[in-house]
Amino acid sequence: MAKKQLNVGLIGYGFMGRTHSNAYRNVNAFFDPEYQPVLKTVCGLVEGEAKAFADNWGYESHCTDWRQVIDDKNIDMVDICVPNNVHSEIALAAAAAGKAILCEKPLALNVAQAEEMAKAVEDAGVANMVSFNYRRVPAVTLAKRLIEEGRLGKIFHYRGQFLQDWTISSNVPQGGMATWRLDVKAAGSGVIGDLLAHSIDTAMWHNGPITKVNALTETFIKERMHAETGKVEPVGIDDACTFFCRFGNGSLGNFESTRYARGHKALFTFEINGENASIAWDLHDLHRLSWFDHNDEGKLRGWRSIHVSDHGGEQPYMENWWVPGLQIGYAESFVHQIADFLEGMAKGELAAPTFRDAVETQKVCDAVLESGKTGQWVDVG
């Protein structure tokens, strides 16, 4: 059956621009959505770089003004891969123009922005999604299924970490295209929006709403040079954040993120302890899921390391790839994301997380940020 073409306009050609482009190019070779994304145009600040990006990934054209993308009647879908402080403006315009929207996380700088964006896409009735791609690592999706099947029983604990070490040197600058994540004006926050947003999205997907939080934040290096101006300026972001919380289901949460954990590059982890079973996972071995089942026979109980590479249809997404034992990597999570987004469009049921879902994550992020400042428990929402 012939596919429906979906013309994509990508805004932002950084790291996420690459992961998304790769996904568009490959999704239809592995999955079978009704839609076929067409790489129509890419937009970015520096003309030469935008062109090189377009050439490399096969975009038909490029531009440097995102409004051109919005105004282009041929574009069906806008993909927002720019720094956080520009998400809102672009998304509102795209919604107004009736485009489907995929937006990088965190959705916004704060709840107010996020709410406005959610309302805009709902009012416009356009397809929308936020790129919390880790939900679609097969092991993470499998964890979700196990929880939904009720295998854990009552849940007591949920733990999450996102540990990196790339800003330990005081020579790392802030601002600019490569290090905007350290610039509070562009990023809004530090590890909270960049990393904990993933932890929070996954945790609430797995374990339901977080109701109150209590956080500790720290900025270890107080001043950094700006990448573009060369001026040494105060650092406004949080370098590290730990928070504990209560979930609506009575379980306790413990979360931590930092960019000062020497030896960990992108150690996103979670562990869930239930009455009957426990689950653990980490991004450094994303193709495995750890599983402990108290219902196993006593003398044989132990943590299982499940190599999530089966192809019998029992493990999410995996039967579309290779053969058992052969692992996929990081990039495939974005392929799954696009596949589900397209399938959702075809069905008329938006794939989660929508902008509305991301508002809930933003609420927790804001509460964490506030608690870090006040030193007090903060109710979410």
| Binding residues among 106-165 for a second copy as defined by CB under 8 A | 142, 146, 156-157, 159, 163-165
Q: Which of 122, 310, 319, 343 binds a second copy (CB under 8 A)?
A: 310
Binding-site member from 45, 65, 330, 379 for a second copy (CB under 8 A): 330
For the segment 14-33, give every residue that binds a second copy (CB under 8 A): 15, 18-19, 21-22, 25-26, 28-29
CB of 216 to a second copy, least distance (A): 5
Helix pair 355-374, 111-124: axis angle to 10 deg: 170
Stretch that binds a second copy, among 123-131, 192-200, 305-313, 358-366 (CB under 8 A): 305-313
Nearest to 78 by CA among 18, 10, 128: 10
Binding to a second copy (CB under 8 A) within 338-367 occurs at none
Question: Which residue in 248, 346, 375, 379 binds a second copy (CB under 8 A)?
Answer: 375
Peptide linkage before 324 cis (omega within 30 of 0): no
DSSP-derived secondary structure for 141-184: HHHHHHHHTTTT-SEEEEEEEEE--TT-STT--BBTTTBGGG-H
- Spatial distance between the Cα atoms of 105 and 20, rounded to a whole number of angstroms: 13
Q: How far is the CB of 244 from a second copy (least distance, A)?
A: 4
Task: State yes or no: residue 218 binds a second copy (CB under 8 A).
Answer: yes
Contact 43, 69 (CB under 8 A): yes
CB of 27: closest distance to a second copy in angstroms? 11
Total residue count of the chain as it appears in this document = 381
328 binds a second copy, rule: CB under 8 A = yes
Given the complex with a second copy, which of 185 and 311 has the nearer CB atom?
A: 311
- Note whether 298 binds a second copy by CB under 8 A: yes
Which residues partner with 100 through β-bridges? 77
For the bound state, the minimum distance from the C-beta of residue 291 to a second copy, rounded and expressed in Å, comes to 6
Report the alpha-carbon distance of residue 303 to residue 295 in Å, rounded: 12
Q: Which residues of 65-79 are buried (b: 16+ CB within 10 A; e: fewer)?
A: ebebbbebeebbbbb
The yes or no reply on residue 323 touching a second copy (CB under 8 A) is yes
Residues within window 176-215 making contact with a second copy, judged by CB under 8 A: 214
Q: Is 166 in the site for a second copy (CB under 8 A)?
A: yes
Query: Residue ranges of the alpha helices (H) in 15-110?
Result: 15-30, 47-57, 66-71, 84-96
Q: How far apart are CA 23 and CA 131, in angstroms?
A: 12
Candidates 61, 287, 319, 343; binder of a second copy (CB under 8 A) is 287
Chain positions 225 to 284 lying near a second copy, rule: CB under 8 A, are 240, 242-244, 246, 250, 252, 254, 256, 258, 260-267, 273-278, 283-284
Q: Which is nearer to a second copy, 51 or 356 (CB)?
A: 51
d(Cα 133, Cα 47) in Å, to the nearest integer? 28
Q: How far is the CB of 48 from a second copy (least distance, A)?
A: 14
- Does residue 292 bind a second copy (CB under 8 A)? yes
Q: Does 294 bind a second copy (CB under 8 A)?
A: yes
How far is CA 194 from each of CA 111, 149, 290, 302, rounded to the nearest angstrom?
A: 15, 31, 25, 34
| Residue 344: other Cβ atoms inside 10 A | 19
Q: Which of 302, 346, 370, 379 binds a second copy (CB under 8 A)?
A: 302
Please work out the total of residues on this chain that contact a second copy, with binding judged by CB under 8 A: 92
Phi, psi (5° rounding) for residue 188? 85, -40
Q: Does 301 bind a second copy (CB under 8 A)?
A: yes
Largest CA distance in the chain: 66
